[in-house]
Amino acid sequence: MTRERLLSKLLALLVVLLQPLAAGAQESGSEEARKKDETASPAPELTQVETTEERREGLDRKLDSSLSEFDALILREQEILEQRREAAGAAGGGAGAGTAPGGGGEGTGEEGGAGEEGGGGNEGSEGTAGATAEGTGDSPDEATGEEVARDGDAPEAESETGEVSNGRVPADVGDGRDDDIVARQLREAAMKEEDPELRERLWDEYRAYKFGEKKKETEG
Amino acid sequence: MIREGVMTKTVRVAVLSSALALLSVPPAALALDDEPVEALQAVQEVPEDRLLDVGVHVFDSGIPEDEYTRFVLEEKGVFEEIRKSEARWIPMNLKRTLESTGYWGAVRMVPSATSVDVIVEGAIVSSTGKKLEIDVVVFDATGRSWLSKRYKQEADPLGYEEDATDEPFQSLYNRIANDLLKKRSDLDPEDFAEIRRVSELKFANDLAPAAFSSYLAVKKGKYSPARLPADGDPMMARVSEIRERDHMFVDTLNEYYADLYAKMEVPYRGWRSASYEEQMALDELNRAAKWRKILGAAAIFGGIMASREGREWSNVGEVAVLGGMVAIMDGLDKSAQTQMHREALKELAGSFDSEVQELLFDVEGEVLRLKGSVETQYASWRQILRDLFAAETGIAIDPNTVVSPPPQ
């Protein structure tokens, strides 16, 4: 009897001890079930509105991101073009530019009058190109002279590896020894850029390109 | 009867003496066909709503695919790579000329599928250092024809002088610019607005046909706006964002063409200048040879006729026959010299062809790479816009539907 009473007391104690645990488990289980229910069978109208709206927003974000990618692509192209011009200028200078007949400089003043949209960079560069090839020329382009002057500017303290020791190279970008052609052009453009804001953007482009490429290599 | 005989003799003497005199005097070089023409310039700033953007396509080089014809052309000194580079050089000059007038909005060299207010297409018929001949066709976004004309121009020799800065065929570009200006001045104010609107809607329709195809009406190949997007239309706002990028892309493309222009300018000018000299010498020899052969034949004929008249004319006749034979021999000798000049021209062209090939290859490689990247972006934008249209309207679009862009 005593034994039976002892057993019943032990059982009662166990029930008392296990009750909170069981309740906790029941509570969490119902929470999970509720969450599951929420995702599995929400109010139909609410979901449709949210999804449409979210979808539109998501697509707009995707478009914005694609447009930004495109802007970066164009920026890279501009840098490549700049490099090409500089290379052509250097080659022309070495070969004795200025012996050729003049001409070919592009006017920008008249485009301004014509209200050309977004063509300024282009026209300026044509002036550069003409100036680079010819050295001089009876061109109406004021930019020609400016570009010649810029072409004539010597890069600061260039080392044998082409590194500019002007303190503009961020510590995290490495020494660029393993750069491919695109990375090298981005790096050089960033090092030569005078505008600090644009320079930082170029370094960002360089990082994005280089570390993106490295990631691809390791994945491949 | 006696009078008639005297007259005949007088005429013969005149013919003979003229022929003998002409044999010793080469004909003067022909004058240029065309007088120099200046491009008309805007005297004041053109209002924004009257500025039409112009897209100039790369010209047709005029080199056929057929290998045999290409070989025949090469024998005549017409080389493929030179023509290909000229097919980019000439539109670039035209672009610059149009820009310089101040009458136009943005003037760009554009890929063929780009929607622009005014489109200029062209084909090279003939191009040497001495003469340029091109076909030009111009139409606007609505499909209205502006111009379809062949332009010919002889080079201005001043353009080949050592310190010259002008393009030797600048007058040809100026004439095209002036003709376009004339057509532009025929437009009514509402025509300007319509051309710009149609050009914008064509671009939108190309990107998002599901959303914009109903905005354009086409009747007998002419486009007009069927209706207009509401102010603040979100889809149109997105298309405008993309169009801005399209302009950036085309501007970048133009910089590559400008790069080619700059790089080929010196060798091209050198080649054209040498070609001009050779061609002038060749034409001169051709004329002289032809002239001498004709007059030589005339002198021989006159000499024979004179010898028949009697003793007093026989000496004159013999001299004329002899002179005529010498002239014909000289004419034949000049023909041999023209062949030398032809060979020299071919050699010059062949050498420049190799030089320009490398430049062309380099720039076209870059252009193709850029176009490839941009095409991928366009495909992505088309997809996003299609999904956005579906999300906003609830109209699902079959992604496999192929919508061809409207013809320009």
DSSP letter string over B78-134?
Answer: --HHHHHHHHHHHHHHHHHHHHHHT-SS-EEE--TT---SEEEEEEEEEE-SSEEEE
Q: pLDDT: is A35 or A119 the higher one?
A: A35
User: Which residues in A lie closer than 8 A to residue B269 (C-beta atoms)?
Assistant: 100-101, 103
The verdict on ipTM greater than 0.95 is no
Q: What share of chain B is helix, strand, coil (3-state, %, to 5)?
A: 65, 10, 25
| CB pair distance less than 8 Å for A101 and B48 | no
What is d(CA B124, CA B169) in angstroms, rounded to the nearest whole number?
14
Q: What is the pLDDT of residues A36-70, one digit of tens each?
A: 444 444 444 445 555 788 888 899 999 999 999 89
CB B116 within 8 A of CB B141: yes
| CB pair distance less than 8 Å for A59 and B241 | no
Q: pLDDT: is B406 or A167 the higher one?
A: A167
Which residue in chain B has the smallest CA separation from A98?
B266
**Position A100 pLDDT exceeds 50:** no
Stretch 123-142 of chain A: residues touching chain B, C-beta under 8 Å: 123, 125-126, 129-130, 132-134, 137-140
**Position B247 pLDDT exceeds 70:** yes
| CB pair distance less than 8 Å for A116 and B106 | yes
Residue from the list A69, A84, A117 with its beta carbon closest to the beta carbon of B247: A117
In this structure, are strands B118-127 and B145-154 parallel, antiparallel, or unpaired? unpaired
From the centroid of its chain, how far is CA B285?
A: 27
**Nearest CA of chain B to the CA of A22: how many Å?**
47
Among residues B177, B49, B18, B198, the alpha carbon closest in space to that of B115 is found at B198
Contacts of B171 (CB under 8 A, 6+ apart): B34, B35, B36, B37, B153, B156
> What region, left, alpha or beta, does residue A176 occupy, with left being phi > 0 and alpha being psi -120 to 50 degrees?
left
**Nearest CA of chain A to the CA of B25: how many Å?**
36
In this structure, are strands B118-127 and B54-56 parallel, antiparallel, or unpaired? parallel
| CB pair distance less than 8 Å for A134 and B266 | yes
Which of the residues A61, A70, A78, A151 would you substitute to probe the B interface, choosing the one with the greatest number of B C-beta atoms within 10 Å?
A70
| CB pair distance less than 8 Å for B391 and A139 | no
pLDDT category at A155 given cuts 50, 70, 90 is very low
**Position B174 pLDDT exceeds 80:** yes
Mean pLDDT over the full length of chain B: 83
**Nearest CA of chain A to the CA of B284: how many Å?**
27
What is d(CA B201, CA B214) in angstroms, rounded to the nearest whole number?
10
* φ and ψ at residue A136, rounded to 5 degrees: -135, -175
CB B149 within 8 A of CB B178: no
- Burial pattern B176-199, b for ≥16 Cβ within 10 A else e, equals bbebbbeebeebeeeebebbbbbb
**Nearest CA of chain A to the CA of B140: how many Å?**
18
Question: Residues for chain A: how many in total?
Answer: 220
Residue from the list A56, A74, A129 with its beta carbon closest to the beta carbon of B261: A129
**CB of A60 within 8 Å of any CB in chain B?**
yes
Q: Count of CB atoms within 10 A of residue B256's CB?
A: 24
Max mean pLDDT among A200-214, B157-171, B331-345 falls in B157-171
**Position A109 pLDDT exceeds 50:** no
User: Which residues in A lie closer than 8 A to residue B270 (C-beta atoms)?
Assistant: 100
| CB pair distance less than 8 Å for A103 and B165 | yes
* φ and ψ at residue B63, rounded to 5 degrees: -95, 120
B375 is written with which tokens? Answer: 């095409």
- pLDDT score, position B80: 87
Residue from the list B105, B262, B377 with its beta carbon closest to the beta carbon of A66: B377
| CB pair distance less than 8 Å for A117 and B385 | no
- Give first-to-last CA distance, chain B, whole Å: 77
* φ and ψ at residue A165, rounded to 5 degrees: -90, 65
Which range (A168-177, B21-30, B76-85, B351-360) has the least confidence?
A: B21-30
* φ and ψ at residue B333, rounded to 5 degrees: -65, -40
Residue from the list B46, B252, B265 with its beta carbon closest to the beta carbon of A134: B265
- pLDDT score, position A48: 55
| CB pair distance less than 8 Å for A117 and B106 | yes
Residue from the list A113, A129, A139 with its beta carbon closest to the beta carbon of B262: A129
Residue from the list A59, A100, A114 with its beta carbon closest to the beta carbon of B51: A114
**Nearest CA of chain A to the CA of B42: how many Å?**
9
**Position B220 pLDDT exceeds 50:** yes
- pLDDT score, position B377: 85
pLDDT category at B322 given cuts 50, 70, 90 is confident
| B282 exposure class (CB count in 10 Å sphere: 0-12, 13-18, 19+) | buried
Helix residue spans in A95-170 (DSSP H):
109-114, 120-134, 142-152
B383 is written with which tokens? Answer: 């997809």
Residue from the list B101, B105, B388 with its beta carbon closest to the beta carbon of A59: B388
Which of the residues B90, B94, B266 would you substitute to probe the A interface, choosing the one with the greatest number of A C-beta atoms within 10 Å?
B266
Q: What is the dihedral of CA A133, A137, A141, A145, to 10 degrees?
A: 70
What is d(CA B219, CA B171) in angstroms, rounded to the nearest whole number?
38
Among residues A155, A89, A101, the alpha carbon closest in space to that of A125 is found at A89
Q: pLDDT: is B395 or B131 the higher one?
A: B131
Among residues A157, A67, A147, A64, the alpha carbon closest in space to that of A104 is found at A147
Which residue in chain B has the smallest CA separation from A69?
B377
Mean pLDDT along residues B70-82: 83
Stretch 140-159 of chain A: residues touching chain B, C-beta under 8 Å: 140
- pLDDT score, position A116: 34
CB B278 within 8 A of CB B130: no
Among residues A114, A124, A119, the alpha carbon closest in space to that of A151 is found at A124
Which of the residues A106, A136, A139, A182 would you substitute to probe the B interface, choosing the one with the greatest number of B C-beta atoms within 10 Å?
A106
**Position A106 pLDDT exceeds 90:** no
CB B292 within 8 A of CB B338: no
pLDDT category at A129 given cuts 50, 70, 90 is very low
**Nearest CA of chain B to the CA of A196: how many Å?**
23
User: Which residues in B lie closer than 8 A to residue A59 (C-beta atoms)?
Assistant: 384, 387-388, 391
Distances (CA, A) of B44 to A207, B19, B53, B101, B103: 48, 60, 18, 11, 9
Q: What SS3 class is residue B196?
A: helix
From the centroid of its chain, how far is CA B118?
A: 18
Identify the H or E element spanning A72: helix A44-94
Residue from the list A62, A67, A111 with its beta carbon closest to the beta carbon of B241: A67
DSSP secondary-structure letter at B229?
Answer: P
- pLDDT score, position A110: 35
What is d(CA A51, CA B68) in angstroms, rounded to the nearest whole number?
64
- pLDDT score, position A160: 36
Among residues B108, B103, B195, B189, the alpha carbon closest in space to that of B145 is found at B195
User: Which residues in B lie closer than 8 A to residue A137 (C-beta atoms)?
Assistant: 165
| CB pair distance less than 8 Å for B46 and A139 | no
Q: pLDDT: is B285 or B313 the higher one?
A: B285
- pLDDT score, position A18: 62
* φ and ψ at residue B124, rounded to 5 degrees: -85, 125
| CB pair distance less than 8 Å for B254 and A134 | no
Which range (B25-34, B41-50, B171-180, B220-229) has the least confidence?
A: B25-34
Among residues B152, B133, B247, the alpha carbon closest in space to that of B200 is found at B247
- pLDDT score, position B350: 78
User: Which residues in A lie closer than 8 A to residue B245 (C-beta atoms)?
Assistant: 67, 70-71, 74
What pTM was computed for the model? Answer: 0.62
Q: What percent of chain A has pLDDT over 90?
A: 9
Mean pLDDT along residues B35-44: 91
**Position B156 pLDDT exceeds 70:** yes
Question: Residues for chain B: how many in total?
Answer: 408
What is d(CA A110, CA A139) in angstroms, rounded to the nearest whole number?
12
